[in-house]
Amino acid sequence: MPGRRIKKDERATQECAGLLMTERRGLIQALDIHIPLVYYDSMKYLLDFVRTEDPKNSPIFEHLKCSPEEAKILQASIRRYIEGSEECGVVELLGELYGDGEYGYLLHLEKIRSLMELGWLVQNSFHSIKLGELSTLELLHTSVAPSVSFLKLLENGNLDLVLPEITPYTDHLEYLQDQFLRIDLYAKMGAPRVGHGSASAGAGRLQNKLGLLEKRIEERVAVTKDPIVVEEFFKEKGLDTKEQIIFLALLKEEYTGGEGNLRDMNTLIDIVSFDEYDRFKNRALLEEGSRLVSEEIIDYDEMLNPFGGITRSFFINEEVLHDIIHPQKKKKRTKLKLDMLVKEQDLFELIDPKTTLDDVVLHPQTREILEALLKQMDKKVAARLKAWGIRPKAGSLTARIIFYGPPGTGKTMTALSLAKSLKRQVLSLDCSKILSMYVGESEKNVRKIFDTFKDLAQKSKSEPVLLLNEADQFLSGRSTSVGSSADKMHNQMQNIFLEQIERFEGILIATTNLLENLDSAFSRRFNYKIEFKRPGRIQREALWRNMLPKNAPYAEDFDLEKLLRYTLTGGQIDLIVKNTAYRVAAKDEPLFTIEDFIAEIEKEREGSFESEEKSMGFLK
């Protein structure tokens, strides 16, 4: 075996690989009783373990926390390892020890699982599968090898974390170095703790290391005279231990330039959870109403994952991060609440959206386009565009969007829901307010829209969405004959609007009922034009089911299928349900019947339905 090369594996460290390559021949000689002193001094724990008949007599047995029978399996595994076989099949390993009788080694498969859960054996095959996904019998045809932890135990005789003496922290970077080591230990404990419980010896060893490290941090902080900025921040915000761990994990990502492994919501929850119940409970630490999010300590981006779901990636807010990284350079804070600023003007209405795109019933094609649009608004996309030179300026992504379609198809509600998905407030403007009977006033008001919006956004340091509702008069074709003063004023107003759209930075959504009247110059300025079609049968059914009163009495022969025959928009269905409810509530014996709904449908169809008051959209 001496001439056989040992395979390299991600699991082995360079230190272990180098040790095996240079000292294997000496170890084999030592096992033949010819023990050179240099090898015995460095490998005495290994030699004692592999040569003893009863593994309980080995100095490292107390650290293994396993049974004597399981220790014998480890003996067989490490013998094969130092003889040149880095991995061996479970069948061969158990057959060597328990081969007598018909398949008696099958009775010892649980010992292999136990040693893997303890962290002493690992799968070393190319197609390895997570232990929790394997049945005990499936382990029979896997290959295992001694883990790095087991090799270090054999080399050093223990796995204790060696800590230097207690001294004050010289600066906050030295403090963070210890804290980031602490986060590494929490991350290592996370998956085994949630997947297999916290009682295993492997978890116990990590817990012991973590306890020593946390005590050391506490003692060093106690003897440090100068305030440590992160500790002061924790006290100021009143963060508990779990909130501190989440914050430190995100801070580690910022300092180390990580690939985002600790930013994922599930990963952050894992490192502060001990079991599935704890994991479920700890989700509240990262929800909208949590202290970390509501007090703007951390924030998150939402992205579409390959399976169509939404994933959250967390990060520390810019101002908080600045104060931590540059404690001597306090950033001026002039941020004002947007709602307070809006009260000082009468042009915009401030809206805090309550629904996301998941709550809105949309035509499948419209939903697909909106989800693609949401993905393109991710900060990573903006960074890439800037790097490619497509978007030279820094800051948030600019998007000018038109929602067009018949009234009641959900344009306004979707605009608000899109803003909610982007975690933004909305400054909404009813465009009819801009029209003025005085020549010249409308042009001034067009500039006022964008000047006021920019001023509010800058003073609040926020990035609201600008929503221009019913923008038909701005977007319609310009008059080619400008004989009247009204035509001239209209063209001037549109030219100013066109100029402002061209210069706009941020997210602007305009809604209109008639896209065919759109001036071609405006069409070029909007990079997203999204049609809102009348709902199909499937969407109408979803709308009816969600809008019908849940606790109301219905006739026994009430048949929703009869209502689905009418091609109504979401806004129409909403109005019909409300009108029918008023009709039924006035009866001596209130009972919802199909006839009541059909009567309201026919009444509205006879009128000018399209001219009804605009609908705010419709919810699932």
Give the model's pLDDT for residue 28. 38
In this predicted model, what pLDDT tens digit does every residue of 313-347 receive, in sequence order?
888 988 888 888 877 665 554 456 787 888 778 78
Give the model's pLDDT for residue 13. 38
Could you give the percent of the chain with pLDDT greater than 70?
Answer: 75
Instruction: Give the best-scoring range by mean pLDDT among 295-304, 422-431, 472-481.
Output: 422-431
Give the model's pLDDT for residue 606. 77
- Does residue 244 carry a pLDDT above 90? yes
Provide the 3-class DSSP secondary structure of residue 228.
Answer: coil
Which pair of tokens denotes residue 146? 């001694």
pLDDT grade for 248, boundaries at 50, 70 and 90: very high
Q: By C-alpha distance, which of 503, 253, 507 is closest to 382?
A: 507
Range scoring the smallest mean pLDDT among 144-148, 442-446, 555-559:
442-446
pLDDT grade for 366, boundaries at 50, 70 and 90: confident
In this predicted model, what pLDDT tens digit does every residue of 469-503 receive, in sequence order?
888 777 765 555 555 666 777 778 788 888 888 88
Q: Is the pTM of this model over 0.85?
A: no
Give the model's pLDDT for residue 130. 55
- Does residue 189 carry a pLDDT above 80? no
Which residue do the tokens 């910022």 mark?
254
Mean predicted confidence (pLDDT) in 378-387: 72
In this predicted model, what pLDDT tens digit does every residue of 70-94 receive, in sequence order?
999 999 999 999 888 888 888 888 8
Q: Is 238 left (phi over 0), alpha (psi -120 to 50) or beta?
A: left
Burial of 594: CB neighbours in 10 Å, binned 0-12, 13-18, 19+ = middle
In this predicted model, what pLDDT tens digit does every residue of 502-535 receive, in sequence order?
888 889 999 888 766 666 777 778 888 888 888 8
CB contact at 8 A, 545 and 537: no
DSSP string spanning 555-575? Answer: -TT--GGGTTTS---HHHHHH
Mean predicted confidence (pLDDT) in 117-132: 65
Give the model's pLDDT for residue 24. 39
- Report domain extents, the chain: 14-156, 172-325, 338-531, 537-611
CB contact at 8 A, 350 and 457: no
Range scoring the smallest mean pLDDT among 38-42, 80-84, 137-141:
38-42
Give the model's pLDDT for residue 75. 92
Mean predicted confidence (pLDDT) in 547-567: 92
Strand order in the sheet with 399-404: 349-351, 426-430, 465-469, 507-512, 399-404, 528-531
Q: How far apart are CA 501 and CA 528, in angstroms?
A: 13
Give the model's pLDDT for residue 4. 33
Mean predicted confidence (pLDDT) in 553-569: 92
338-531: CATH, from 3.40.50.720, 3.40.50.300, 3.10.450.30, 3.40.47.10: 3.40.50.300
In this predicted model, what pLDDT tens digit does every residue of 200-239 receive, in sequence order?
445 666 777 788 888 889 999 999 998 899 999 999 999 9
Range scoring the smallest mean pLDDT among 108-117, 499-508, 610-619:
610-619
Give the model's pLDDT for residue 29. 42
E-strand spans in 111-242? 121-123, 143-146
- Does residue 18 carry a pLDDT above 50? no
DSSP state of 123: E
- Does residue 5 carry a pLDDT above 60? no
pLDDT grade for 156, boundaries at 50, 70 and 90: confident
CB contact at 8 A, 405 and 532: yes
Give the model's pLDDT for residue 478. 59
pLDDT grade for 162, boundaries at 50, 70 and 90: low
For strand 465-469 and strand 507-512, is the pairing parallel, antiparallel, or unpaired? parallel
Between 546 and 22, the higher pLDDT residue: 546
Mean predicted confidence (pLDDT) in 283-290: 87
- Does residue 295 carry a pLDDT above 90? no
Give the model's pLDDT for residue 399. 86
Give the model's pLDDT for residue 117. 78
Give the model's pLDDT for residue 466. 93
Between 585 and 42, the higher pLDDT residue: 585
Mean predicted confidence (pLDDT) in 555-577: 91
In this predicted model, what pLDDT tens digit does every residue of 578-594 receive, in sequence order?
999 999 999 888 999 99
Burial of 586: CB neighbours in 10 Å, binned 0-12, 13-18, 19+ = exposed
Range scoring the smallest mean pLDDT among 19-23, 131-135, 179-183, 444-448:
19-23
- CATH class name, domain 537-611: mainly alpha
Q: How far apart are CA 183 and CA 525, in angstroms?
A: 48
pLDDT grade for 126, boundaries at 50, 70 and 90: very low
